[in-house]
Structure 1
């Protein structure tokens, strides 16, 4: 103002840096400078203009924090407490509350809630209140606004009709259930919502606080404008879809921990969603327009149907348990394995036996099970990937108008089966065993092979006969007996329970010729390994050759060693 300008005297109107130089010269001329030294310290700069920020003394509004903090800490000892996930962040909260300073809530910016304080134009009297003075023309409101965290701390209850605590929204939804936020704003937002909610409503603002970490770049650096390593989510969505991004974010971080943005994992997620989409196409190709979603008649189910439904019950229980604990990585892992391995890789392939067969009851059972399981899968996935699941839900038989209002899947105890997983393990082991023998001895998939089972248990035969048609369908292999003598050219694989799968190789390959091939390969690999080891042990090579060349030779040597180990194992099986 005019008074301050008058006080500036000869320095009036000078740039601050110019003024400092002039002032120093005047001090030196007056003989009042004792000494000058260089001090290194932190200097604040404007984020936008990069200009040095000067400290400026002024009057500010404060909130007295000690009583608010004490009430918040006391409330954490009651049943109305807020639970932090992970628990360790409650210590962060309590440490801050125990060491709290009074809170400066006034800000000199152009936006926000105006400070409810007025100054009388004639007397200079100060008035603070919820309502403006009645003779408002005689008063001037303070130009400061509330700290943004003060305003946002009102959110849990101000959005529900507060201060009208009889508002239906307030009565139904307050306190809310869960707040999800980053660990970097526990002080700024979470704690302030807690003590303000307790102060203004007498209750906690929410039951749980789920704390997540930050998303860092692939090298683990925090994303920032200065590094230019930020990622625009809209670009990711354009390339991979919103569902892929959501799945990636939810399944690559633990509560409270930072995560890295890895594009390759988004590609993998995109492939997973594509797998789900293709499974839905398979179901749609096999059902007609009259197909309905309904509970299944357990008495008519096939072995594969009973197995997938029992697994589905296990998955629902696991997902429910981990959702309640906010362990979303476990949720994603459970769903991924079930959908990719159990449903797509096993059940869909096994269902083809019944869908292409002549047994109409078995065909209907398989179709009903396919629809039931797929419908349940998309409902389990919906919170994580809402868009593709709604699209599939609308295409397949369903009950509710939208997946958004459909019921969360529940366990059907009728589908529980304590022995089915063990029974199904025989099927999986036999199929894997046939595939392993085909691979080891180079028997083409187009060649039908005969196998026998040497069983230790007397009661296995009925189950193995039930399994046999599935084995025939998946790996083109026919069971020709149980506990029968085997030939000298017999290849074996141990299956569940220490039982043995046998295939007489003499019908399909020339064993001696196959052995000779492997022995020749082993000899060749031994030569390559000897050459590589010699080269890498030669100082003239390792010190003079380009680093890239040395690394390439090391990689080649490791590859040869890996192939050599596999070939030796193959020959051992042949012998």
Structure 2
């Protein structure tokens, strides 16, 4: 049936015959046309499984199925016909859930067509960017029933993330001896009895993201799952924990987290994760696709919420230090001096991490009785209060002038925004999304003005 089912109707003179088998006798001519494609497609759920032999192994194992995924534009032509065909011939519904995706459009939101020349050949995309990058581009940002835009910009972004996951695997392979990887791979934390604050922090984050991804996938929220997982992989794991591993060298935790991430990513990017998995394990016969879905994999006795909270404070502290560099235009290579008010015994183990991640050359831990350093920026992170010395890295007087000038310009911008938003003639004519954007710009500008004012005040102390 290359061109569909031929219409089972025969003609002979004024006679018409309809049936499954051809009529007997001479002179009959079968109708040359075929039934529309949806007639053949409507039989798909069972005709491919051995039907009409209902005892066929595939038919008994896979019909009815759990989920059908298709586009909303063929809900009636295909989905409804499959339900009708299965109900009529088998007296059962062929699937329990239908997941309707949107249409794939180009970067400008136009429907793809040959006349516009904006069609995307998936084979070409897979060749240029990789099949997994193509898969991610189609999943990320695609919610049920809504159209998704794709193009080179999105393909490049997804390829870059796939490369990031691959490079983490290369770092792991270079940093940990092969023999140790093989001995720990199955359950790296099985014999682990103590963890650093950073280890506890990443394990708490991993447990949370695993639960979130499991719940979201069970609810068919594929895009949200991929976005949550990408954020964890790139930010918490790559930007924070791997940098900590370069100091603490806790190979067991690194292996556990990465192994779990490969399993979580496998439904989204099966080719790269399978390749990384077999490469690190050095065993091509062990497939990631046969791996159990991730569970916690460690004992509660080696983790505490306190340890995770302490490292979360370090993350806040280092983030604030980086923000200060941006506010005062301090070169990222410039080493800073930091004073922290707090318990020295609790802070001391974290100092090497603060120095490395914050590019700090000196950390002084003192009690609350110490005076605040002059020309310093104040930081509050969790229970910590810290001060970044600025006098040695910036021209304080010149910086105050620059900040005050920026405040003046920002003040004029805010006044202009307020005037436009107070003009009823503009509010009544402008589209709602334009007004909402203007209000968001005003809110952001006012928040920045507060920050600039605080920075000027700190330089004056």
Please tell me the TM-score bracket, short chain as reference. 0.7 to 0.9
Residue 496 of structure 1 is matched in structure 2 by 382
What secondary structure, in the 3-state scheme, does the structure 2 residue paired with 1:207 have? Answer: strand
What secondary structure, in the 3-state scheme, does the structure 1 residue paired with 2:299 have? Answer: helix
Pair 1:345-2:233 in alignment: no
The count of residues paired between Structure 1 and Structure 2 equals: 420
Residue 256 of structure 2 is matched in structure 1 by 372
Pair 1:467-2:347 in alignment: no
Residue 434 of structure 1 is matched in structure 2 by 321
Pair 1:111-2:15 in alignment: no
Residue 180 of structure 1 is matched in structure 2 by 69
Alignment of 1:71-86 (within 5 A): none
Distance in 2, matches of 1:417 and 1:182, equals 46
Is the alpha carbon distance of 1:174 and 1:516 closer, same or farther for their aligned partners in structure 2, counting shifts above 3 Å?
Answer: same
Query: What whole-Å deviation, never above 9, does each CA across 1:405-463 have from its counterpart, x for those lacking one?
Result: 32222233636754454232211122223334455553764536242224xxxxx6654
Q: What TM-score does the superposition give when structure 1 sets the normalisation length?
A: 0.65
Q: Unpaired segments of 5 or more residues in structure 2? A: 416-441
Residue 272 of structure 1 is matched in structure 2 by 161
Distance in 1, matches of 2:202 and 2:410, equals 48
Alpha-carbon contact 1:175-1:205 (below 8 Å) kept? yes
Pair 1:424-2:424 in alignment: no
Query: What whole-Å deviation, never above 9, does each CA across 1:235-273 have from its counterpart, x for those lacking one?
Result: 333332221121111012210011222432322222222
What secondary structure, in the 3-state scheme, does the structure 2 residue paired with 1:299 have? Answer: coil
Alignment of 1:148-163 (within 5 A): 148-163=37-52
What secondary structure, in the 3-state scheme, does the structure 1 residue paired with 2:247 have? Answer: helix
Residue 196 of structure 2 is matched in structure 1 by 302
Distance in 2, matches of 1:404 and 1:110, equals 34
Pair 1:449-2:337 in alignment: yes
Q: Unpaired segments of 5 or more residues in structure 1? A: 1-108, 356-365, 455-459, 534-557
Alpha-carbon contact 1:113-1:151 (below 8 Å) kept? yes
Distance in 1, matches of 2:321 and 2:409, equals 33
* Corresponding residue to 2:129 among 232, 235, 240: 240
Pair 1:128-2:19 in alignment: yes
Distance in 2, matches of 1:379 and 1:163, equals 39
Residue 418 of structure 2 is matched in structure 1 by none
Alpha-carbon contact 1:493-1:502 (below 8 Å) kept? yes
RMSD of aligned alpha carbons: 3.4
What secondary structure, in the 3-state scheme, does the structure 1 residue paired with 2:281 have? Answer: coil
Distance in 2, matches of 1:529 and 1:310, equals 43
Distance in 2, matches of 1:170 and 1:437, equals 65
Alpha-carbon contact 1:433-1:501 (below 8 Å) kept? no
Residue 202 of structure 1 is matched in structure 2 by 91
Distance in 2, matches of 1:183 and 1:206, equals 16
- Runs of 4+ that moved beyond 6 A: 527-530
* Corresponding residue to 1:516 among 377, 398, 404: 398
Distance in 2, matches of 1:529 and 1:438, equals 23
Is the alpha carbon distance of 1:465 and 1:238 closer, same or farther for their aligned partners in structure 2, counting shifts above 3 Å?
Answer: same
Distance in 2, matches of 1:466 and 1:251, equals 39
Distance in 1, matches of 2:410 and 2:312, equals 41
Greater RCO, 1 or 2 (C-alpha within 8 Å, sep 6+): 2
Is the alpha carbon distance of 1:160 and 1:422 closer, same or farther for their aligned partners in structure 2, counting shifts above 3 Å?
Answer: same
Residue 410 of structure 1 is matched in structure 2 by 295
Distance in 2, matches of 1:501 and 1:312, equals 29
**Displacement after TM superposition at 1:385 (Å):** 1.5
Is the alpha carbon distance of 1:423 and 1:525 closer, same or farther for their aligned partners in structure 2, counting shifts above 3 Å?
Answer: closer
Larger of the two Rg values belongs to structure: 1
Pair 1:390-2:277 in alignment: no
Residue 91 of structure 1 is matched in structure 2 by none
* Corresponding residue to 2:227 among 311, 333, 336: 333
Distance in 1, matches of 2:139 and 2:123, equals 17
Pair 1:481-2:366 in alignment: yes
**Displacement after TM superposition at 1:200 (Å):** 1.0
Residue 252 of structure 1 is matched in structure 2 by 141
Is the alpha carbon distance of 1:344 and 1:127 closer, same or farther for their aligned partners in structure 2, counting shifts above 3 Å?
Answer: closer
Alpha-carbon contact 2:336-2:388 (below 8 Å) kept? no
**Displacement after TM superposition at 1:524 (Å):** 8.8
Pair 1:219-2:108 in alignment: yes
Distance in 1, matches of 2:245 and 2:168, equals 12
Residue 550 of structure 1 is matched in structure 2 by none
Distance in 1, matches of 2:175 and 2:80, equals 55
Distance in 2, matches of 1:529 and 1:509, equals 28
Q: What TM-score does the superposition give when structure 2 sets the normalisation length?
A: 0.80
What secondary structure, in the 3-state scheme, does the structure 2 residue paired with 1:501 have? Answer: strand
Is the alpha carbon distance of 1:432 and 1:528 closer, same or farther for their aligned partners in structure 2, counting shifts above 3 Å?
Answer: closer
What secondary structure, in the 3-state scheme, does the structure 2 residue paired with 1:238 have? Answer: helix
What secondary structure, in the 3-state scheme, does the structure 2 residue paired with 1:429 have? Answer: helix
